[in-house]
Amino acid sequence: MLRYIIRRVLWAILVLLIVVFITYMIFFLLPSGDPAVRLAGKNQTPQLLEQIRQQFGLNHPWYIQYLLFLKHAVLGDQYGWPGLGLSFVSKVPLKGIIFSRIAVTAQLAIGAAIVWLIVGISVGILSALRPHTLGDRSAMGLAVLAISMPVFFLGPLALYIFWFKLGWLPGTGYYALGQYGVGTWFSHWILPWVVLAVLYAAFYARLSRSNLMETMSEDYIRTARAKGLTEKRVVLKHGLRAGLTPLVTVFGLDLAALLGGAIITESIFNLPGIGQLTVQAVGGQDLNTIAVITLVAATFVVFANLIVDILYAFLDPRVRFD
Amino acid sequence: MPEPLLEVKDLRVHFPTDDGVVKAVDGLSFTMAAGETLGIVGESGSGKSVSFLTVMGLINKKSAIIEGQVLFQGQDLVQMTNDELREIRGAKIAMIFQDPMTSLHPFYKVGDQIAEMILAHEDISKKEAFDRAIEMLRRVNIPQPEERARQFPHEFSGGMRQRAMIAMALSLNPDLLIADEPTTALDVTVQAQILDLIDRLQSEFNTAVALITHDLGVVAEHCHHIQVMYAGKIVEEGTADDIYYRPMMPYTWGLLRSLPRLGHDTDRLTPIAGAPPSLIFLPEGCSFSPRCPYVFDECRVVEPELLPIDGHHAARCHLSLEDRERIVAQEILATS
């Protein structure tokens, strides 16, 4: 078991090294022209260009540049650890910005995840246990509808109905928990959470339904029934355990992808998260910020993969000895 | 005469589908005495598994129409509620299945899976149940049962898993063990071990065994009585000697001829011509008539009754007894 975990961790580190290299390549090596000019953004001064050349070692060969880039990322730079450098457009160290943005995105992603897990999986289970009934068919029909509803449509629609027309919920914006209290904080999160969760909930409902239905037709479920267990125990202990375990993989990757920024949701609800930062950075030609966001998002995915792999070994005994 | 352990009377299990009604079991009647071994032989789709899944109450009542009676120790299982059936399942009637590779839950330890069944029926501690699971694993000849009980099914070989299934099935000392093709998925050498194990445990536990198989070779030395099923009905029943040395039904002949025999210089086995009938559109008359080499006009119109020949031996066939005895003597026993 320990060997398995060590192997997974080493593998994750290797993947991260490759990710850093590819990111470096995309932002520094592949485009033609002076990287310093691209990184400087719109307001370029000779001093700024010189500062950038210093920061990234642009006067050295590419492998030194890469090692420097890697060193900053792993060991930190003059702005602290991890070394994320400076936004050369706003002249602010990126570390603080990224961390505060991640905090907002994490609230969005985790809140939405709780909503979609509860709604999606319970609908999926209920449908799987009563397949082809009216309830199952309507739930799955609704799921198709929900999967077909993009956030950029659903978001404004929800705002229009629940904020503008009915006035049941507050509008857009981020209201920090510490500053505004639980009520204001929570009420402002309801719409973003629900809107973001709709698509995922529908997807998870369909996924858990099909997984569970497949599991319930397995031979070992028939064995469980033949043992004289109650139907409740057959479903809860034997069915769900095997039927829902594959969802761990999907969930880990979905959550990680969202932590890298929910661009549309954050834009619609005016939430200062990673996604919104991405849009601003692209608009302001803030290349270093984009590179750092890329790295951060990729790191989330790699870590999520690692956690999922380790968790899976605990959940499915067959994985441990492979 | 003592009350039979299991008495099935005119059992019909029909599955309505979009294409029509699948008549998986169509008028099945038989009895089993306590401690007896009954072999049920037939091809895939002959209704042998479905009839015993019905006995276990494992056929979903919503998707099937079940008629007739299944009297187990005098109680009709067909009329029982799920809760009543649940108390019988595992405790009084246990079942082992064809594929031991998929019959155990991959996520739980073997000992826990056995203990879970004991705990479902008896009010004892988890520790006691687990100890009994270990004891049962020992009785089915699994070496180092204390360690093995703490392992997962994927750490067991196929034969070991089937032993574990048997250990589980017998852990509550049931009156009836249903073995649904228990050796089909196993190597031939392991098959013999498993069947011998079932034999031995049967006498130790005095459990009646219903051995379902498509292999006449398997049932021969392990069963007191054999019934041959075709298209949801019994077409011939009798002792092992009756079925082997005096078979009285062309389908049984086909099964016997399709067996490989040692010492016979044949390159090919002799299959039964044609395919099993659709259970939705059964042939008129005798359901075996489209594949029967001895078919004549009456077979295609009138369904033969299951008529006694002598003692418990009975068969469904329109051929005269003399004709059948002649065919058996000249063609079946001579060539096989």
| CATH classification of the domain holding A166 | 1.10.3720.10
Q: Is 80 exceeded by the pLDDT of residue A72?
A: yes
Of B199-203, B304-308, B329-333, the one with minimum mean pLDDT is B329-333
> pLDDT grade, residue A223 (50/70/90)?
very high
Token representation of residue A274: 């990673």
Chain B residues with beta carbon closer than 8 angstroms to that of A223: 97, 103-105, 165
Instruction: Give A317→chain B minimum CA distance, Å.
Output: 6
Q: Is 80 exceeded by the pLDDT of residue A322?
A: no
**A319 within domain boundaries:** no
Q: Is 80 exceeded by the pLDDT of residue A276?
A: yes
Are A156 and A135 found together in one domain? yes
Minimum CA–CA partner of B59 in chain A: A222
**B23 within domain boundaries:** yes
Mean pLDDT of the region A69-87:
84
Instruction: Give chain A's largest Cα–Cα span.
Output: 81
Distance CA A117, CA A252 (A): 12
Instruction: Give A215→chain B minimum CA distance, Å.
Output: 11
Q: Give the tens place of pLDDT for each residue, B264-292.
A: 666 677 888 888 888 999 999 999 999 99
Final residue of a structural domain among A29, A61, A94: A94
The contact set of A with B (CB < 8 A) is 218-220, 222-231, 233, 238, 241-242, 245, 315-318
Instruction: Give B235→chain A minimum CA distance, Å.
Output: 28
How high is the pLDDT of residue B334? 67
Q: What is the 3-state secondary structure (H, E, C) of chain A?
A: CHHHHHHHHHHHHHHHHHHHHHHHHHHHHCCCCCHHHHHHCCCCCHHHHHHHHHHHCCCCCHHHHHHHHHHHHHHCECCECCCCCEECCCCEEHHHHHHHHHHHHHHHHHHHHHHHHHHHHHHHHHHHHCCCCHHHHHHHHHHHHHHCCCHHHHHHHHHHHHHHHCCCCCCCCCCCHHHHHHHHHHHHHHHHHHHHHHHHHHHHHHHHHHHHHHHHCCHHHHHHHHCCCCHHHHHHHHHHHHHHHHHHHHHHHHHHHHHCCCHHHHHHCCCCCHHHHHHHHHHCCCHHHHHHHHHHHHHHHHHHHHHHHHHHHHHCHHHHCC
Is the Cβ–Cβ distance between A224 and B106 less than 8 Å?
no
Mean pLDDT of the region B84-94:
93
Are A127 and A178 found together in one domain? yes
How high is the pLDDT of residue B335? 61
Mean pLDDT of the region A72-95:
84
> pLDDT grade, residue A154 (50/70/90)?
very high
Are B150 and B34 found together in one domain? yes
Of A110-114, A175-179, A204-208, A219-223, the one with minimum mean pLDDT is A175-179
What pTM, to 2 d.p., does this model score? 0.85
Distance CA A86, CA A288 (A): 7
Distance CA B215, CA A223 (A): 23
Distance CA B128, CA B110 (A): 15
Mean pLDDT of the region A272-276:
95
For helices A94-129 and A274-283, give the axis angle rounded to 10 degrees: 130
Nearest by CB to A223, from B82, B103, B154: name it.
Answer: B103
Partner-chain contact B105 A238, CB within 8 Å: yes
Partner-chain contact B82 A231, CB within 8 Å: yes
Q: Whole domain around residue B39: which residue ranges? A: 6-223
- Count of A–B CB contacts within 8 Å? 68
> pLDDT grade, residue A207 (50/70/90)?
very high
Nearest by CB to B97, from A223, A228, A242: name it.
Answer: A223
Q: Whole domain around residue A24: which residue ranges? A: 2-94
**B231 within domain boundaries:** no
> pLDDT grade, residue A138 (50/70/90)?
very high
Are B102 and B183 found together in one domain? yes
How high is the pLDDT of residue B218? 81
Are B33 and B136 found together in one domain? yes
> pLDDT grade, residue B2 (50/70/90)?
low
Mean pLDDT, chain B, integer? 90
Are B154 and B204 found together in one domain? yes
DSSP state at residue B63:
T
Partner-chain contact B89 A224, CB within 8 Å: no
Are A128 and A254 found together in one domain? yes
Distance between first and last Cα of chain A? 10
> pLDDT grade, residue A321 (50/70/90)?
low
Are A273 and A140 found together in one domain? yes
Distance CA A10, CA B252 (A): 63
Give the CA-trace dihedral at A311, A315, A318, A321, to 10 degrees.
40
Are A76 and A121 found together in one domain? no
CB atoms within 10 A of CB B147: 13
Instruction: Give B17→chain A minimum CA distance, Å.
Output: 14
Q: Within 13 Å and on the Cβ side, how many CA atoms surround A33?
A: 8
Are A152 and A85 found together in one domain? no
Are A85 and A135 found together in one domain? no
Q: Give Cα separations from B94 to A278, A319, B162, B170, B175 (angstroms).
A: 62, 31, 14, 7, 8
Distance CA B137, CA A181 (A): 61
Are A116 and A260 found together in one domain? yes
Are B72 and B181 found together in one domain? yes
Are A128 and A18 found together in one domain? no
Are B160 and B38 found together in one domain? yes
How high is the pLDDT of residue B336? 53
- The strand order across the sheet containing B37-41 reads B93-96, B176-180, B208-213, B37-41, B225-230, B233-239, B313-316, B306-310
Final residue of a structural domain among B170, B189, B223: B223
**A313 within domain boundaries:** no
The domain tally of chain B equals 2
How high is the pLDDT of residue B266? 63
Is the Cβ–Cβ distance between B218 and B191 less than 8 Å?
yes
Task: Evaluate the CA torsion angle B108, B114, B115, B117 in order and state its sign.
Answer: positive
Mean pLDDT of the region B7-29:
93
- CATH number, domain at B117? 3.40.50.300
Are A113 and A212 found together in one domain? yes
Are B89 and B21 found together in one domain? yes
Distance CA A262, CA A274 (A): 7
- Stated as kind and residue range, the H or E segment containing B41 is strand B37-41
Are A61 and A113 found together in one domain? no
Q: Give the tens place of pLDDT for each residue, A4-25.
A: 899 999 999 999 999 989 998 9
Are B217 and B250 found together in one domain? no
Are B211 and B72 found together in one domain? yes
Partner-chain contact B102 A219, CB within 8 Å: yes
The domain tally of chain A equals 2
Are A129 and A264 found together in one domain? yes
Partner-chain contact B58 A219, CB within 8 Å: no
